[in-house]
Chain A
């Protein structure tokens, strides 16, 4: 289990992480989402032991990560700006990883040649951005980590390669119980692969839950009322967003679909339908509550 407990990090007076607390259960794929500048990359750098928190703890199975090689050997990372040595090829970088990670598998390295259509003797800097990303996955997955930390991992990959990479990752999760923490803005993609989601904003983790819990806990309700005017809705309903077209009202309401529908029956709607929310919608409406929403700005 990967944990961040009340982590605070300040850069020249700017509080990038503000008591951030996050738990990635073992063997899950945890999607970390949030607006730009929310602190996702910062917390990921803490998880990989690059940054030292001003206060709070970063733990893997209860052991601190920072300056702890025994723990760091169990995890690998692909940052949004993955670095390779200027003159190095994939094969040369593999020697570094193999020397650092005792679990590095040369057998897997050879097998991966079938997956990634790359020349492992070619200098990485001569490769395209997408090819460099493939190289990063190739090397990282050969380390056979217990915990994989990914920051914008498939950015730059073509759709086929994205599927290929996700397939490999999920295969590892299924076969070896690998824990994956992934940060991305591509919520549709995360929705397909994640089973836990954490939403960050302004250095805090606003909420974290399993994706099914999250989807069960928020409902999109389309309702048509008998009268032209919107009736008074039950006060206990926690409405995150409302809009209407004619008599048809659309509500985003926090709560279980069944419970919300039962409560709404008091208003005697002409028509009522509960639609499951996508992760993108959950993100948008949750962030709307945190003063972050799409604004209608006329330029």
Chain B
């Protein structure tokens, strides 16, 4: 029965289903091959061990669901709304006695319905395969797979529909869709590249800002759905390897894989965003003019926005590319060359975009103002970055506002997560010295690196990465600042004990240990008593101020050995032992190690390299 208030039309839905069944078939066939057919074909493999693999496979298929949603969301939207791209078809569809709202939601429901049908059929066949070949059906995983994929499809399908609404030209729709999925990510990459060119010490910090992660659905969804989370189950196992102690201790065993709880928030957020996108697309459809069929950009107000965006991105990316071609054999090509490249490419892209949008080559008169505006914007961006108007290069955190600082002095082999105020102050002092005295000119391998990530009390991060000339640094205040940092107790503790976890080791928890010398290939299994004595020696050395590494040294004297202490709570593991750890070296001697061989250094070498032999035990000098 026809309802005047209905928001969809059954005839249109039926027509869509009849017209686009091959797409549904393809979509369904892929899922059937990926899930029930795979589970049927690999039943022997999946049944082995705990038998959890069948559920794990469904969780793996959630990642596949992202790409299925990305691809088929676009295909269904492009097919169902393709009539908007042609004046003949739009003439038929809009002359039919249905409102724009009914048209819109009929096509939307047809698309979602066809994808849902494909998934339901897949669920049915998967249930059948699992019921027949396995111990039972993994209902929970199957149910979760279905809803996760539905949420993903809802988001990507809505986004693709919005792109269809924004354009009246089919070839422009995939371009818009790709841009919508990646423009924040691309902007981040480009701005990071630009930051690396302009700012001394610039680093992206190895991760992307939250806006980039959340603004790039593929990035965050792949991250959270790819992460494998298992249910851990308590168990008991005799510690046979613990030097024959026969101690029985608790441990956990890996249970079945579960849905990553961290994925819930992104899925809910993107589900909501999908709703907003769908609503926006509906509003655009209602206001969209039928005569926009054939126009690459359907709305006049959107044309300058898209043109400017293309010109900006084109100028930034292709401008940087062109600049790097110029700079290939000349590191000194400067700001003017970069600006020239960016402006040239932005102007070209602006006119090219205008040609496509307006479908004419006669764009100069109408487009030059736009091109000039974007060029000016890029000039301001480059000059502003060069002048460091934000104060990026000279910015230092205030010590009392730093929660922690992760320092990587890769030349010295030091990687410490510092939390103590004394250490943080030393880090900031070194950072300050590099800003004031560091030389960016690094010749060959003559470099010294400081990479620091500050976690600030307001929850934000500040990262810097400096590559400076080592020769210049040795002759400056940087050396003193680095030495002061390496002498702090927190850094020494890290050097001697190997990791921060070691501080949590309780003497009474130590059950045994193991030492292996890489230099001599000697190894010793420790009893609980021996391990405790070794740990005490390490603590005594730390208390005595040992473990301070000399910064910027080419050949550092340390013993390359592996010390492992097994404890109920946290173990200890270290792989370098500085020679001033006299108590530990003495105990190693006691255990029968050839400590001279362990350090592998002669007295002559020590003298030549400026080490004070008086600080090292005689046994460590060959």
Binding site for B on A (CB under 8 A): 11, 45, 48-52, 67, 69-73, 77, 79, 81-85, 87-88, 92, 95-96, 99-102
Query: Which of A69, A71, A84 touches B98 (beta carbons < 8 Å)?
Result: A69
Give the complex CA separation of A156 and B15 in angstroms. 28
Is the Cβ of B94 less than 8 Å from the Cβ of A50? Answer: yes
Cβ B19 vs Cβ A51 within 8 A: no
Q: Which A residue sits closest to B98, measured CB to CB?
A: A69
Q: Can you show 25 pairs from A to B with CB atoms below 8 A apart?
A: A11-B291, A45-B290, A48-B94, A51-B289, A51-B290, A52-B290, A67-B100, A69-B98, A69-B99, A71-B97, A72-B95, A72-B97, A81-B91, A83-B88, A84-B92, A87-B19, A88-B19, A96-B11, A99-B10, A99-B11, A99-B14, A100-B9, A100-B97, A100-B98, A102-B2
Q: Mark B96-113, 1 if CB is under 8 A from A, else 0.
A: 111110100000000000
Which of B48-104 touch A at CB < 8 Å?
86-92, 94-100, 102
> What mask results when residues 2 to 35 of chain B are scored 1 for a CB within 8 Å of chain A, else 0?
1010000111001100110000000000000000
CB distance from B289 to the nearest CB of A (A): 7
- Total number of B residues with any Cβ neighbor in A under 8 Å: 27
A77 to B96 CA separation, bound complex (whole angstroms): 9
Q: Are A100 and B4 in contact (CB under 8 A)?
A: no
Once the chains are docked, how many angstroms separate the CA of A52 from the CA of B98?
15
A51-B290, A69-B4 known; A83 vs B89 contact (CB < 8 Å): yes
Contacts of A95 in B (CB 8 A): 11, 14-15
| Nearest CB of B to A239, in Å | 41
Q: Are the C-beta atoms of A50 and B18 separated by less than 8 Å?
A: no
Complex CA–CA separation, A42 to B2 (angstroms) = 30
Query: 4 closest A-B pairs (Cβ-Cβ)?
Result: A99-B11, A72-B97, A83-B92, A73-B97
How far, in whole Å, are A77 and B9 apart by their CA atoms in the complex? 20
Report whether A50 and B90 are in contact in the complex, using a CB–CB cutoff of 8 Å.
yes
A87 to B15, CA, bound (A): 12
Beta-carbon contact of A100 and B289 below 8 Å: no
**Using Cβ atoms and an 8 Å threshold, which residues of chain B touch A45?**
91, 290
Tally the A-B contacts, defined by beta carbons under 8 Å: 70
Tell me the B residues contacting A by CB distance below 8 Å: 2, 4, 9-11, 14-15, 18-19, 86-92, 94-100, 102, 289-291
**A49 and B291: CB pair below 8 A?**
no
A69, A73, A102, most chain B CB atoms within 10 A: A69
Residue of A nearest to B287 (CB): A52
| Complex contact A101–B97 (CB within 8 A) | yes
| A72 vs B91: C-alpha distance when bound (angstroms) | 13
Given contacts A82-B92, A95-B15, A100-B11, 16 further A-B contacts (CB under 8 A): A51-B290, A69-B4, A69-B97, A69-B98, A69-B99, A70-B97, A71-B97, A77-B95, A79-B91, A83-B91, A95-B14, A99-B9, A99-B10, A99-B11, A101-B97, A102-B2
Please pick, from B86, B97, B100, B291, the residue contacting A51 in the complex, using a CB distance under 8 A.
B291
| Distance (whole angstroms) from the CB of A186 to the closest CB of chain B | 22
| Residue contact B290 to A85, C-beta cutoff 8 Å | no
Q: Which of B4, B11, B18, B290 contacts A92 (CB 8 A)?
A: B18
Residues of B within 8 A of A52 (CB): 289-290
A85 to chain B: which residues have CB within 8 Å? Answer: 15, 19
Q: Kindly list chain B residues whose C-beta atoms are within 8 Å of the C-beta of A102.
A: 2
Task: Give the chain A neighbours of B19 by CB distance below 8 A.
Answer: 85, 87-88
Kindly report which residue of chain A lies nearest to residue B290, judged by CB atoms.
A50
Which of B18, B91, B96, B291 is in CB contact (< 8 Å) with A100? Answer: B96
CB–CB B95/A48 < 8 A: yes
**Are the C-beta atoms of A49 and B88 separated by less than 8 Å?**
no
B4, A70: Cβ atoms under 8 Å?
A: yes
A87-B19 Cα distance, complex, nearest whole Å: 8
Q: Is the CB of B4 within 8 A of A72?
A: no
CB distance from B433 to the nearest CB of A (A): 63
Contacts of B100 in A (CB 8 A): 67
Roughly how many angstroms separate A79 CA and B11 CA in the complex, as a whole number? 22
Could you tell me if B95 and A96 are in contact, using CB atoms closer than 8 angstroms? Answer: no
Residues of B within 8 A of A82 (CB): 88, 92
In angstroms, how far is the closest chain B Cβ from the Cβ of A11?
6
Closest to B2 in A: A102
Q: List residues of chain A with CB within 8 A of the CB of B97.
A: 69-73, 100-101
Chain B residue nearest to A76 (CB atoms) is: B95
A44: min CB distance to chain B, Å: 10
Residue on A nearest B86 in the bound complex, by CB: A83
CA distance A50 to B97 in the complex (A): 11
